[in-house]
Structure 1
Amino acid sequence: MGERRVGVAMDFSPSSKYALNWAIDNIAREGDSLFVVMVARKNPEVEDAHLWMDSGSPLIPLCELDEASLMKKYGVTPDAEVLSALDLAAREKKLVVVGKVYYGDPRDKICDAVVEIPLDCVIMGSRGLGTLKRALLGSVSNYVVNNAPCPVTVVKLLGGSGSNRGKK
Protein backbone atom coordinates (compact mmCIF):
# COMPACT_ATOMS: atom_id res chain seq x y z
CA MET A 1 0.00 0.00 0.00
CA GLY A 2 0.97 3.61 -0.47
CA GLU A 3 2.49 6.30 1.69
CA ARG A 4 -0.73 7.63 3.26
CA ARG A 5 -4.13 5.97 3.53
CA VAL A 6 -6.75 8.49 2.46
CA GLY A 7 -10.39 7.47 2.83
CA VAL A 8 -13.30 8.87 0.84
CA ALA A 9 -16.83 8.02 1.98
CA MET A 10 -18.82 7.29 -1.17
CA ASP A 11 -22.56 6.83 -1.65
CA PHE A 12 -22.48 7.97 -5.31
CA SER A 13 -24.55 11.08 -4.54
CA PRO A 14 -23.53 14.40 -6.12
CA SER A 15 -21.99 15.53 -2.82
CA SER A 16 -19.90 12.37 -2.41
CA LYS A 17 -18.74 12.57 -6.03
CA TYR A 18 -17.71 16.15 -5.44
CA ALA A 19 -15.87 15.11 -2.26
CA LEU A 20 -14.02 12.41 -4.22
CA ASN A 21 -12.91 14.90 -6.87
CA TRP A 22 -11.93 17.40 -4.17
CA ALA A 23 -9.88 14.73 -2.37
CA ILE A 24 -8.12 13.75 -5.59
CA ASP A 25 -7.36 17.39 -6.46
CA ASN A 26 -6.42 18.64 -2.97
CA ILE A 27 -5.37 15.79 -0.69
CA ALA A 28 -4.06 12.80 -2.64
CA ARG A 29 -0.37 12.83 -3.46
CA GLU A 30 1.71 10.54 -5.59
CA GLY A 31 2.10 7.15 -3.96
CA ASP A 32 -0.87 7.45 -1.57
CA SER A 33 -3.49 4.76 -1.17
CA LEU A 34 -7.04 5.99 -1.79
CA PHE A 35 -9.71 3.91 -0.06
CA VAL A 36 -13.25 4.29 -1.33
CA VAL A 37 -15.44 3.43 1.66
CA MET A 38 -18.96 2.46 0.62
CA VAL A 39 -21.80 1.59 2.98
CA ALA A 40 -24.65 -0.51 1.64
CA ARG A 41 -27.90 -0.80 3.53
CA LYS A 42 -28.92 -4.09 1.96
CA ASN A 43 -27.25 -7.42 2.58
CA PRO A 44 -24.88 -8.63 -0.11
CA GLU A 45 -25.83 -11.49 -2.40
CA VAL A 46 -22.66 -13.52 -1.84
CA GLU A 47 -22.80 -17.06 -0.49
CA ASP A 48 -20.15 -16.47 2.19
CA ALA A 49 -21.31 -12.94 3.08
CA HIS A 50 -21.98 -13.89 6.68
CA LEU A 51 -18.21 -14.16 7.12
CA TRP A 52 -17.71 -10.43 6.66
CA MET A 53 -20.99 -8.75 7.51
CA ASP A 54 -19.47 -7.12 10.59
CA SER A 55 -16.05 -6.24 9.18
CA GLY A 56 -17.07 -5.38 5.62
CA SER A 57 -16.13 -6.87 2.29
CA PRO A 58 -12.62 -7.87 1.39
CA LEU A 59 -10.55 -5.04 -0.09
CA ILE A 60 -11.56 -4.55 -3.73
CA PRO A 61 -8.82 -3.39 -6.13
CA LEU A 62 -9.66 -0.70 -8.70
CA CYS A 63 -9.61 -3.23 -11.55
CA GLU A 64 -12.53 -5.06 -9.89
CA LEU A 65 -14.59 -2.00 -8.91
CA ASP A 66 -15.95 -1.75 -12.46
CA GLU A 67 -17.06 -5.38 -12.62
CA ALA A 68 -20.83 -4.91 -12.38
CA SER A 69 -21.60 -8.50 -11.42
CA LEU A 70 -19.08 -8.47 -8.57
CA MET A 71 -20.22 -5.11 -7.22
CA LYS A 72 -23.88 -6.20 -7.42
CA LYS A 73 -23.01 -9.12 -5.17
CA TYR A 74 -21.69 -6.60 -2.65
CA GLY A 75 -24.92 -4.58 -2.91
CA VAL A 76 -23.29 -1.55 -4.55
CA THR A 77 -23.71 -0.02 -8.00
CA PRO A 78 -20.84 2.37 -8.74
CA ASP A 79 -21.24 4.67 -11.71
CA ALA A 80 -19.04 5.43 -14.69
CA GLU A 81 -18.22 8.97 -13.54
CA VAL A 82 -16.71 7.73 -10.27
CA LEU A 83 -14.82 4.89 -11.93
CA SER A 84 -13.42 7.26 -14.53
CA ALA A 85 -12.22 9.71 -11.86
CA LEU A 86 -10.60 6.89 -9.87
CA ASP A 87 -8.90 5.42 -12.95
CA LEU A 88 -7.55 8.81 -14.01
CA ALA A 89 -6.29 9.58 -10.48
CA ALA A 90 -4.61 6.18 -10.23
CA ARG A 91 -2.75 6.74 -13.49
CA GLU A 92 -1.88 10.43 -13.11
CA LYS A 93 -0.97 10.46 -9.42
CA LYS A 94 0.18 6.86 -9.20
CA LEU A 95 -2.38 6.16 -6.46
CA VAL A 96 -3.26 2.73 -5.20
CA VAL A 97 -7.09 2.72 -5.33
CA VAL A 98 -9.00 0.22 -3.24
CA GLY A 99 -12.68 -0.10 -2.37
CA LYS A 100 -14.33 -1.62 0.67
CA VAL A 101 -18.03 -2.15 1.29
CA TYR A 102 -19.58 -2.10 4.74
CA TYR A 103 -23.16 -2.90 5.73
CA GLY A 104 -25.32 -0.99 8.18
CA ASP A 105 -25.47 2.54 9.51
CA PRO A 106 -23.05 4.80 7.58
CA ARG A 107 -22.20 6.75 10.73
CA ASP A 108 -20.83 3.72 12.54
CA LYS A 109 -19.36 1.97 9.52
CA ILE A 110 -17.31 4.94 8.31
CA CYS A 111 -15.84 5.24 11.80
CA ASP A 112 -15.21 1.47 11.82
CA ALA A 113 -13.34 1.79 8.50
CA VAL A 114 -11.02 4.42 9.97
CA VAL A 115 -9.88 1.95 12.62
CA GLU A 116 -10.02 -1.32 10.66
CA ILE A 117 -8.23 -0.27 7.45
CA PRO A 118 -6.68 2.01 9.15
CA LEU A 119 -7.10 5.43 7.52
CA ASP A 120 -4.98 8.53 8.07
CA CYS A 121 -7.87 10.84 7.14
CA VAL A 122 -11.42 10.75 5.74
CA ILE A 123 -13.01 13.05 3.19
CA MET A 124 -16.77 13.07 2.82
CA GLY A 125 -19.51 15.10 1.27
CA SER A 126 -22.27 16.95 3.05
CA ARG A 127 -25.91 16.58 2.06
CA GLY A 128 -26.48 20.16 3.14
CA LEU A 129 -29.42 19.45 5.43
CA GLY A 130 -31.01 22.40 7.14
CA THR A 131 -31.05 22.66 10.92
CA LEU A 132 -34.46 21.02 11.35
CA LYS A 133 -33.80 18.09 8.99
CA ARG A 134 -30.37 17.56 10.53
CA ALA A 135 -31.94 17.44 14.01
CA LEU A 136 -34.60 14.95 12.88
CA LEU A 137 -32.54 12.75 10.56
CA GLY A 138 -29.11 13.15 12.06
CA SER A 139 -26.00 14.06 10.17
CA VAL A 140 -23.58 11.37 9.06
CA SER A 141 -20.80 13.91 8.57
CA ASN A 142 -21.37 15.49 11.99
CA TYR A 143 -21.23 12.08 13.65
CA VAL A 144 -18.04 11.08 11.83
CA VAL A 145 -16.36 14.43 12.60
CA ASN A 146 -17.08 13.93 16.30
CA ASN A 147 -16.29 10.21 16.55
CA ALA A 148 -13.62 9.22 14.03
CA PRO A 149 -10.11 8.95 15.49
CA CYS A 150 -8.53 10.76 12.53
CA PRO A 151 -8.88 14.08 10.73
CA VAL A 152 -12.18 14.37 8.82
CA THR A 153 -12.79 16.86 6.03
CA VAL A 154 -16.39 17.58 5.07
CA VAL A 155 -16.69 19.03 1.58
CA LYS A 156 -19.86 20.96 0.96
CA LEU A 157 -21.39 20.99 -2.49
CA LEU A 158 -22.36 24.59 -3.25
CA GLY A 159 -25.90 25.13 -4.48
CA GLY A 160 -27.15 21.77 -3.24
CA SER A 161 -26.54 19.75 -6.42
CA GLY A 162 -24.51 19.65 -9.56
CA SER A 163 -20.86 20.48 -9.80
CA ASN A 164 -18.72 23.06 -8.07
CA ARG A 165 -16.21 23.05 -10.94
CA GLY A 166 -15.08 26.57 -11.66
CA LYS A 167 -16.50 27.99 -8.40
CA LYS A 168 -14.15 29.44 -5.81
Structure 2
Amino acid sequence: MAKARTVGVAVDFSPTSKLALRWAVDNLINKGDQIILITVQPPQAHHTRKELFEDTGSPLVPLEELRELNFTKQYGIARDPEVIGILDTASKTKGAKAVAKVYWGDPREKLCNAVEDLHLDSLVVGSRGLGPIKRVLLGSVSKHVMTNASCPVTVVKGKQSSNSRH
Protein backbone atom coordinates (compact mmCIF):
# COMPACT_ATOMS: atom_id res chain seq x y z
CA MET A 1 0.00 0.00 0.00
CA ALA A 2 1.26 3.49 -0.88
CA LYS A 3 2.46 5.78 1.89
CA ALA A 4 -0.07 8.44 2.90
CA ARG A 5 0.93 11.86 1.63
CA THR A 6 0.39 15.40 2.81
CA VAL A 7 -0.86 17.68 0.04
CA GLY A 8 -1.21 21.42 0.57
CA VAL A 9 -3.59 23.55 -1.48
CA ALA A 10 -3.30 27.34 -1.41
CA VAL A 11 -6.81 28.79 -1.23
CA ASP A 12 -7.85 32.44 -1.24
CA PHE A 13 -11.48 31.51 -2.06
CA SER A 14 -11.19 32.89 -5.60
CA PRO A 15 -12.66 30.81 -8.46
CA THR A 16 -9.13 29.81 -9.54
CA SER A 17 -8.12 28.62 -6.07
CA LYS A 18 -11.33 26.58 -5.80
CA LEU A 19 -10.47 25.06 -9.17
CA ALA A 20 -7.03 24.16 -7.79
CA LEU A 21 -8.64 22.56 -4.72
CA ARG A 22 -11.04 20.55 -6.87
CA TRP A 23 -8.15 19.49 -9.15
CA ALA A 24 -6.09 18.32 -6.15
CA VAL A 25 -8.97 16.24 -4.78
CA ASP A 26 -9.72 14.71 -8.19
CA ASN A 27 -6.13 14.03 -9.24
CA LEU A 28 -3.80 13.79 -6.25
CA ILE A 29 -5.65 12.73 -3.15
CA ASN A 30 -5.76 9.02 -2.31
CA LYS A 31 -7.13 7.05 0.61
CA GLY A 32 -5.44 8.06 3.84
CA ASP A 33 -3.80 11.22 2.47
CA GLN A 34 -4.03 14.49 4.34
CA ILE A 35 -5.14 17.59 2.46
CA ILE A 36 -4.26 20.91 4.06
CA LEU A 37 -6.11 24.01 2.96
CA ILE A 38 -3.57 26.84 3.28
CA THR A 39 -4.87 30.39 3.52
CA VAL A 40 -2.66 33.47 3.78
CA GLN A 41 -4.30 36.58 5.22
CA PRO A 42 -2.87 40.06 4.52
CA PRO A 43 -0.30 41.24 7.09
CA GLN A 44 -2.51 44.21 8.02
CA ALA A 45 -5.51 41.98 8.79
CA HIS A 46 -6.76 42.19 12.37
CA HIS A 47 -8.37 39.01 13.64
CA THR A 48 -8.61 37.72 17.19
CA ARG A 49 -6.21 34.83 16.51
CA LYS A 50 -3.58 36.80 14.61
CA GLU A 51 -1.80 38.00 17.75
CA LEU A 52 -1.42 34.42 18.98
CA PHE A 53 -0.32 32.82 15.72
CA GLU A 54 1.13 35.55 13.50
CA ASP A 55 4.65 34.08 13.59
CA THR A 56 3.81 30.38 13.30
CA GLY A 57 0.44 30.33 11.59
CA SER A 58 -2.66 28.87 13.18
CA PRO A 59 -2.81 25.35 14.55
CA LEU A 60 -4.18 22.78 12.10
CA VAL A 61 -7.94 23.22 12.09
CA PRO A 62 -10.11 20.12 11.52
CA LEU A 63 -12.78 20.15 8.82
CA GLU A 64 -15.53 20.12 11.46
CA GLU A 65 -14.34 23.47 12.84
CA LEU A 66 -14.17 25.07 9.38
CA ARG A 67 -17.96 24.88 9.27
CA GLU A 68 -18.35 26.95 12.44
CA LEU A 69 -19.10 30.66 12.30
CA ASN A 70 -16.84 31.21 15.32
CA PHE A 71 -13.84 29.92 13.33
CA THR A 72 -14.51 32.19 10.38
CA LYS A 73 -14.80 35.23 12.66
CA GLN A 74 -11.63 34.43 14.61
CA TYR A 75 -9.52 33.99 11.49
CA GLY A 76 -11.28 36.34 9.08
CA ILE A 77 -11.97 33.60 6.56
CA ALA A 78 -15.11 33.46 4.48
CA ARG A 79 -17.49 30.61 5.22
CA ASP A 80 -17.51 29.07 1.79
CA PRO A 81 -19.97 26.21 1.23
CA GLU A 82 -18.28 25.23 -2.04
CA VAL A 83 -14.88 24.78 -0.37
CA ILE A 84 -16.44 22.86 2.54
CA GLY A 85 -18.28 20.67 0.00
CA ILE A 86 -15.05 19.85 -1.88
CA LEU A 87 -13.30 18.95 1.40
CA ASP A 88 -16.31 16.87 2.51
CA THR A 89 -16.10 14.94 -0.76
CA ALA A 90 -12.37 14.32 -0.25
CA SER A 91 -13.07 13.09 3.25
CA LYS A 92 -16.07 10.89 2.46
CA THR A 93 -15.22 9.44 -0.94
CA LYS A 94 -11.42 9.29 -0.72
CA GLY A 95 -10.94 8.76 3.01
CA ALA A 96 -8.66 11.79 3.20
CA LYS A 97 -8.16 13.84 6.33
CA ALA A 98 -8.93 17.50 5.59
CA VAL A 99 -7.58 20.32 7.75
CA ALA A 100 -6.80 24.02 7.32
CA LYS A 101 -4.02 26.36 8.38
CA VAL A 102 -4.01 30.16 8.32
CA TYR A 103 -0.92 32.33 7.92
CA TRP A 104 -0.53 36.12 7.90
CA GLY A 105 1.87 37.94 5.57
CA ASP A 106 3.19 37.79 2.01
CA PRO A 107 1.65 34.74 0.26
CA ARG A 108 4.88 34.04 -1.66
CA GLU A 109 6.92 33.77 1.53
CA LYS A 110 4.27 32.08 3.66
CA LEU A 111 3.46 29.36 1.11
CA CYS A 112 7.14 28.46 0.80
CA ASN A 113 7.39 28.40 4.61
CA ALA A 114 4.29 26.18 4.77
CA VAL A 115 5.99 23.54 2.62
CA GLU A 116 8.70 23.17 5.29
CA ASP A 117 6.46 23.75 8.30
CA LEU A 118 3.84 21.19 7.25
CA HIS A 119 6.26 18.71 5.61
CA LEU A 120 4.24 18.82 2.40
CA ASP A 121 4.80 16.15 -0.22
CA SER A 122 3.14 18.38 -2.81
CA LEU A 123 1.60 21.84 -3.10
CA VAL A 124 -1.17 22.91 -5.48
CA VAL A 125 -1.76 26.58 -6.29
CA GLY A 126 -4.07 28.38 -8.66
CA SER A 127 -2.85 30.87 -11.21
CA ARG A 128 -4.86 34.06 -11.59
CA GLY A 129 -3.47 34.51 -15.09
CA LEU A 130 -2.32 38.09 -14.63
CA GLY A 131 -1.22 39.84 -17.79
CA PRO A 132 2.49 40.61 -18.23
CA ILE A 133 2.24 44.16 -16.82
CA LYS A 134 0.31 43.22 -13.68
CA ARG A 135 2.59 40.22 -13.16
CA VAL A 136 5.65 42.52 -13.17
CA LEU A 137 3.99 45.01 -10.80
CA LEU A 138 2.35 42.54 -8.42
CA GLY A 139 4.62 39.54 -8.86
CA SER A 140 3.34 36.08 -9.51
CA VAL A 141 2.74 34.07 -6.35
CA SER A 142 2.54 30.80 -8.30
CA LYS A 143 5.82 31.48 -10.16
CA HIS A 144 7.64 32.41 -6.94
CA VAL A 145 6.37 29.31 -5.13
CA MET A 146 7.18 27.05 -8.09
CA THR A 147 10.74 28.40 -8.14
CA ASN A 148 11.40 28.39 -4.39
CA ALA A 149 9.35 25.61 -2.76
CA SER A 150 11.21 22.47 -1.76
CA CYS A 151 8.46 20.09 -2.92
CA PRO A 152 6.70 19.52 -6.25
CA VAL A 153 4.29 22.37 -7.05
CA THR A 154 1.33 22.05 -9.40
CA VAL A 155 -0.10 25.25 -10.85
CA VAL A 156 -3.73 24.99 -11.94
CA LYS A 157 -4.68 27.63 -14.46
CA GLY A 158 -8.10 29.24 -14.46
CA LYS A 159 -10.57 28.46 -17.19
CA GLN A 160 -10.04 30.40 -20.39
CA SER A 161 -12.78 32.83 -21.32
CA SER A 162 -14.91 31.80 -24.30
CA ASN A 163 -13.45 34.48 -26.56
CA SER A 164 -9.82 33.47 -26.05
CA ARG A 165 -7.90 31.26 -28.44
CA HIS A 166 -7.40 27.58 -27.66
Q: Do both proteins adopt the same fold according to a TM-score greater than 0.5, normalized to the shorter chain? A: yes
The 5-angstrom pairing of residues 4-43 of structure 1 reads 4-41=5-42, 42-43=45-46
**How far did residue 44 of structure 1 move?**
2.0
How far, CA to CA, are the matches of 1:44 and 1:146 in structure 2?
31
The 5-angstrom pairing of residues 143-162 of structure 1 reads 143-159=144-160
How far, CA to CA, are the matches of 2:15 and 2:118 in structure 1?
25
| Structure 1 gap ranges (5+) | 162-168
For the aligned residue pairs, the C-alpha RMSD in angstroms reads 1.7
How many residues get paired?
159
Corresponding residue of 1:74 = 75
**How far did residue 160 of structure 1 move?**
5.3
The 5-angstrom pairing of residues 65-144 of structure 1 reads 65-144=66-145
| Structure 2 gap ranges (5+) | none
Corresponding residue of 2:48 = 45
1:90-143 per-residue CA deviation (whole Å, 9 max, x = no partner) reads 000000001000001111111111000111110010000111110111000011
**How far did residue 40 of structure 1 move?**
0.9
TM-score (ref. length: structure 2): 0.91
How far, CA to CA, are the matches of 1:89 and 1:52 in structure 2?
27
| 3-state SS of paired residue (1:11) | coil
**How far did residue 34 of structure 1 move?**
0.3
**How far did residue 54 of structure 1 move?**
0.8
How far, CA to CA, are the matches of 2:28 and 2:94 in structure 1?
11
Corresponding residue of 1:165 = none
Q: Out of 50-59 and 95-104, give the one that drifted further.
A: 50-59
Question: What percent of counterpart residues are identical?
Answer: 51
Runs of 4+, deviation exceeding 2 Å? none
TM-score (ref. length: structure 1): 0.90
How far, CA to CA, are the matches of 1:77 and 1:18 in structure 2?
17
Report the residue type matching 2:54 in the other structure. M
**How far did residue 15 of structure 1 move?**
0.3
How far, CA to CA, are the matches of 1:28 and 1:92 in structure 2?
10
